[in-house]
Structure 1
């Protein structure tokens, strides 16, 4: 049976993606138009098949190869080889090493007080703003997330977060622009110069983090650099791992919390319910303890619903190494299997009224009714995000600290438009006013 999809275009699909406003919105259109399985053109792929049905995704969950050409835009970030496309035999031990640092509850608990202090610093700064702000959520929260990942996985807070975030955006905008042939300001020579300067800044920053770690004489497997050193990783691999960890972590948590506050600002009833839960669980305390997170059940549902509506990473991809049968369709070896997380999360067959914000979807009873791959903000299979557990702890803590102290309201007239910028970003940030919350009772 032939997989449905649009007619091939001589430009390899670039024009269709651009006209749709980006690959994330193009995927939504494709699946609305052609159904849960779609064949389409993708720059860097001869055959691409996108799957938005969580039941059919099960047949692909074993795939362990990422398509090298699709991730080639990240090549310049790395010196020891692109960590996003490591072969399975090399990726598996590297992944185990990352999980040993990023996934364990004891290490989360050990760093929780530092996370809380960093979140409180931001809250204090917002509290001092005249007339409630406004604040640029993504700018401030991605910078905070970068500080948190440095404190957690790297053993210190030795970077300038604003400078690092700006440099990452410079590099990724240029490389993604090349991938999708998007028009960018300035001449190619000017852009190349800015990109090289930004990349040099990132590498210098990472070297400084590693040097600070070594000067402390630490060999602690509880932080990422210590674990990499003890495992005998090469200096280039250590540098690359630190860089990709900083890139992934500062985007994921900061963006997720920003979208969650945006949604709560538009849904005051849900925001009120979160505030009531915080008052009940925390009592007179202004910040939670680690064990409190398990009792903040509605806050967790709100975060999960936000990750459904605005997954920070809007898609993923794998490559078949042998023919694959999928729901009556045949996918050849060497094809790109595309995971459109956003389209999966908006699939009306599994999410009634999919664009509506309804945290109650994530009660245990409701969750049990859905296929396990209906909600995949951190990916699926052997390439699932190693930092998923850490990201959830950080996000819940940040939301608890901020929502305990503030009410968030949209800035009148400010338009929030999701765009694809490596993550699901807002075109002109998410600007909100913050006002002190008066506790009832």
Structure 2
């Protein structure tokens, strides 16, 4: 049985993605509304793909351990020892195991938690001390904060890293190379030159951290660099791993917290319940200890519901290495399987009234009723995000520090519009006013 989908277009699907839906983040929503849970479509940069939005059907693909090289080619410039996003399975598995030992490990989280807390408190002090009381743009500020956190974790505490410069450098590189992937007409003749300079800046920053690494257990030692050195990874692979970790981690956390505050600002009764939980668990303390996070169950539910409605990475992809049966459809070997996280999270068959913000969906009882792949903000299977646990710890901490002291209201007249920019970004920012809690 042939997978349904739109007719073939000579432009490779570019016009359909850009015009019909506004971008690749929204296009799968349109496709699945029109054609059902499994759709064939032209994916710019990767040829024809099959998108699956039903969590039960996704189970047939959960074992896939290859990514389509063309779709991730824009990351090639970040990697000198081979694009880490498309490593062959036999090379990827030990590398993933190594990353999980650091990024998902409680000892590393606890070791860096005090410094993470200090960085979050610096931000809340600055926002609380604004004399004019005007709105703040959450995305830029919180992305910079999460980058400072991951720099501390991945590079070491005392590397002299300029987080704002690194944020700018990543944006230069990604804008240039994503533009090439989607064939965006170049309007600035110097964009490629600036992207090359930005990439050189990023590499030099990482090289300085690796050179300064201390194997004596001092506080400025990087757990990630240390693990890579201990595993006898090559200098190029160490640099590539740190670069990709910085890229993925700072976008995920900063964007997730921004969308969560956006939703809380529009649902003050939920924000009040979060504040009450923080007061109960923390008392007069301004920030949680690491052990407090497991007692902030409602805050965790709010974060999960936010990432359901606005998953930081709205899609992923794998490639079949042999013929695969998905429901009534036979998918041939070599096919790109597209994971539309946003469409999965808004599937009305598993999420009643899917556009409604309702943290109660994530009570243990409600979560147990759903298929395990109904909620996949960090992907699925052997290529899911290695930093998911660390990102969650950072997001919970930042939210706890901010919401213990401040409440947020939307800036009057500002419209928040999701768009695709490597992550699910708000096109004109997320502007909110921060008020001291009384």
Give the structure-1-normalised TM-score. Answer: 0.96
Give the equivalent residue in structure 1 for 2:254: 254
Counterparts of 1:204-243 in structure 2, within 5 Å, are 204-214=204-214, 223-243=223-243
CA contact (8 A) 2:265 2:271 kept: yes
The alpha-carbon distance between structure 1 residues 365 and 258, as it changes in their structure 2 partners (threshold 3 A), is same
CA contact (8 A) 1:126 1:133 kept: no
Report Cα offsets for 1:311-352 as digits up to 9, x if no partner: 011100000000001101000000000000010001010001
Report Cα offsets for 1:160-208 as digits up to 9, x if no partner: 1111111111111111111111234313xx1111111111111111112
CA contact (8 A) 1:150 1:157 kept: no
Report Cα offsets for 1:371-425 as digits up to 9, x if no partner: 0000000000001101101111110010000000001011111121111111001
Give the equivalent residue in structure 2 for 1:109: 110
CA contact (8 A) 2:158 2:220 kept: no
Q: CA deviation at 1:211?
A: 2.2
- Cα distance in 2 between the residues matched to 1:174 and 1:240: 19
SS, match of residue 198 in structure 1: helix
- Cα distance in 2 between the residues matched to 1:51 and 1:34: 11
Q: CA deviation at 1:216?
A: 7.6
Give the equivalent residue in structure 1 for 2:48: 47
Give the equivalent residue in structure 1 for 2:360: 360
Matched, 1:65 2:66: yes
Give the equivalent residue in structure 2 for 1:185: 187
Moved more, 85-94 or 200-209: 200-209
Give the equivalent residue in structure 1 for 2:403: 403
Q: CA deviation at 1:73?
A: 1.1
Note the residue ranges of structure 1 that are not aligned, 5 or more in a row.
none
Matched, 1:145 2:146: yes
- Cα distance in 2 between the residues matched to 1:195 and 1:25: 27
SS, match of residue 132 in structure 1: coil
- Cα distance in 2 between the residues matched to 1:400 and 1:218: 28
CA contact (8 A) 1:219 1:229 kept: no
- Cα distance in 2 between the residues matched to 1:221 and 1:173: 32
Note the residue ranges of structure 2 that are not aligned, 5 or more in a row.
none
- Cα distance in 1 between the residues matched to 2:392 and 2:219: 27
Give the equivalent residue in structure 1 for 2:34: 33
Q: CA deviation at 1:213?
A: 2.0
Give 4+ residue runs of structure 1 displaced > 4 Å after superposition. Answer: 214-222
Matched, 1:321 2:321: yes
The alpha-carbon distance between structure 1 residues 67 and 354, as it changes in their structure 2 partners (threshold 3 A), is same
Report Cα offsets for 1:355-385 as digits up to 9, x if no partner: 1100000000110110000000000000110
Give the equivalent residue in structure 2 for 1:390: 390
CA contact (8 A) 1:315 1:340 kept: yes
- Cα distance in 2 between the residues matched to 1:185 and 1:221: 43
Report Cα offsets for 1:242-284 as digits up to 9, x if no partner: 1001001100101100000000001101001101111111111
Give the equivalent residue in structure 2 for 1:198: 198
CA contact (8 A) 1:102 1:153 kept: no
- Cα distance in 1 between the residues matched to 2:392 and 2:92: 23
Matched, 1:374 2:358: no
Counterparts of 1:158-177 in structure 2, within 5 Å, are 158=159, 159-177=161-179
Give the paired residue count. 436
Give the structure-2-normalised TM-score. Answer: 0.97
- Cα distance in 1 between the residues matched to 2:104 and 2:327: 34
Q: CA deviation at 1:110?
A: 2.1
- Cα distance in 2 between the residues matched to 1:184 and 1:371: 44
Q: CA deviation at 1:48?
A: 0.6
- Cα distance in 1 between the residues matched to 2:416 and 2:297: 28
The alpha-carbon distance between structure 1 residues 216 and 209, as it changes in their structure 2 partners (threshold 3 A), is farther
